[in-house]
Chains A and B, each alone.
Chain A
Amino acid sequence: MSICTDSFVPAASAMAKLYGFPAYEFATMPHPLASLDQEQIDSCARELMPQLLRILGVEP
């Protein structure tokens, strides 16, 4: 499972295509990440969970 910020979707997609997985699905989150504090990171993680569970195929 790969998570990237939305700014990196073009580069991540190019790498996936390069490796022969053009439809590889990333979980994405808003940019930026590096400057967030702990509370903001925790919030991002919570917001990401539905995406992660969907891509992993976890049934509701």
Chain B
Amino acid sequence: MATAVQGVPPDATDSGAHDSGSPKVDAPDVRAPEVDAPEFDAPEFDAPEFDAPEFDAPDIDAGEIRAAMEYYARQQWTDGLPVVPVTESYLTEFLARTSRDPSDVVLAMPHLNRECTVRLAAINAAMAGCLPEYFPVVLAAWDALVGEGYVTRAIWQSTTGTAPLLIVNGPVRNQIGLNSAGNVFGSGFRANATIGRSIRLTAINVFGLHPHLLDQATQGTPAKYSACIAENEEASPWEPLHVQYGFDPAESTVTAMVIRSCVHIEARHTQQPEQLGLDIAGTIARTGAMVHETTSATVVLSPEHARVFASAGWSKQDVRQFLYDRAASSRADLAAVGKDAISRNTRWRLPAGHPDALPADESFDPVPALNSPGAVQVMVAGASNAGVSAVIESLGARGNPPSIAKVEGTVKVSSTA
């Protein structure tokens, strides 16, 4: 068998340019291990007949590939899934997509005494399975995360168990094959899956945020594997998210936010914007999500739901205003779950009568869940096939504009795509 695989070549072993706490691109001995295949009696079954796809698999030594993958796993440079071995030559393809110096810092976490450079971001993007042309989007994601601000305040170590959500707008979506339509939160699209994953791998490998140690998430969220979606601008009746905040439609951007939950809204029955709006408002105001005095959310409308609003003449701002007006809980409902007062120190919700509780202002009832229409973002994504939408429950900015960074660098689809 030919051994064409170039897992991690010796030329990557002695670069000496690695930052502390980083995954080093050193070479495992990739001589193929002896693989003892277990013997077992294969169950007999009638295999269905189908037209087998034409395979053009390269002639490689699978044992060497596995040895390289297992080497990374042993170093714990992983989110639990196999990662792509990275060579210096492959890394060069990523670094060629940006004018930034490999040593430039993309994110520093002083409380951990660690920082992520362009080089380390590229290594982890490659390990995540990104193609080189995705790298400008990855860098924009880091810029947006830095701008969002919560990340440097140890939110990735919090028991709440948040994840970064990346929202991509502009032409880059179609240039690199980002999914904005059916199954937008699901699997099946390399760009979505790997760009989001590159952030998680960096958190683990560069910042050392391993679960049970520096990552103290009580439960976490499935979004911690990867959470990167694109807006379905083509199916939206309104301007895209980035244009709403002053970017040109021809520019590509990444919006970053800190999220905990993605709650689905099922409402196939209605063409009345008020009914749909109340369904969404009730979800935003659910008491379980009310950690602080108020909350924030991003409503990801399916094209069908967006049209329910737009067909009735509602602008995106009208939707936000309605949600602000109607996302609220009665004082009695908040009292029933012990969240009717605010901590004088943390502004977290707690029961009236708690020693830390501020005196209740009972002049308004119900109690609004949002502090302004700006605390809820509205965008469109998903297939145009059902009245199904989602409320993303986010932490961080409540009423301020979201953190949006422009995609810069060379996004040009290579022949390997």
Contact = CB atoms under 8 A, between A and B. Distances in A.
A33 B292 CA distance: 18
Contacts of A15: 214
Interface in B203-247: 208, 212-214, 216
B355 A11 contact: no
A15 B216 CA distance: 12
A8 B213 CA distance: 9
Interface in B106-153: 112-113
A11 B156 CA distance: 13
Interface residues of B, number: 9
A10 B355 contact: no
B157 interface: yes
Contacts of A11: 157, 213-214, 216
A15 B157 CA distance: 11
Contacts of A19: 113
Interface in B236-272: none
A38 interface: yes
Nearest to B21: A18
A14 interface: yes
Given A11-B157, A11-B214, A11-B216, A18 B112 contact: yes
Interface string B397-411: 000000000000000
B216 A8 contact: yes
A14 B214 CA distance: 6
Given A11-B213, A19-B113, A38-B355, 10 more contacts: A8-B216, A10-B212, A11-B157, A11-B214, A11-B216, A14-B213, A14-B214, A18-B112, A18-B113, A18-B214
17 contacts: A8-B216, A10-B212, A10-B213, A11-B157, A11-B213, A11-B214, A11-B216, A14-B208, A14-B213, A14-B214, A15-B214, A18-B112, A18-B113, A18-B208, A18-B214, A19-B113, A38-B355
